[in-house]
Amino acid sequence: MWFDIVMTLTLTMSGILNAIVSLALVQTFLMFGFDLRDGIPVVPPAWTWGVAAAALLLACVGVWMGRMIRLNSWDLILPWRLAVKLVRHLAQRGKVRELIGFTLSHFVLLALLYTAVYAPVSMLVLSEIRMSQEVAAGQVVDVG
């Protein structure tokens, strides 16, 4: 019994960690890939947080589709079949409420975890980058 619990928790946390790291890489790429005219930001721009939130929300809907409708990635080959399955499932009583509840609860969990991990790490990395640029430009005064 304990082995099953530990195995399930390990695999679950592995998946969540993978999602957090992947999304952090995307958000960081967006931050540095598009708008650095004003220099290195102090915190990640708000629009990158919006992109991250949209990605998390879509991922939660995808998890719901996989868990409740039993869809897989290869079901995208025939999108009309996917749409028919989705409409038939949501036409059943209480399924829309199930979609909203599942998606929002998982979104809140992942968003809290992601923010708790990415916000402090990104601010630390951004401050280190700014400091190294100042050192390279000779703008840092020795306080020692």
pTM: 0.81
Instruction: Write out the DSSP string of 47-88.
Output: HHHHHHHHHHHHHHHHHHHHHHS---GGGGGSHHHHHHHHHH
Over the chain (144 residues), the average pLDDT of each successive run of 10 is 91 93 91 71 86 96 94 89 94 97 96 94 85 74 55
| Nearest CA-CA partner of 99 in 67, 51, 55, 56 | 67
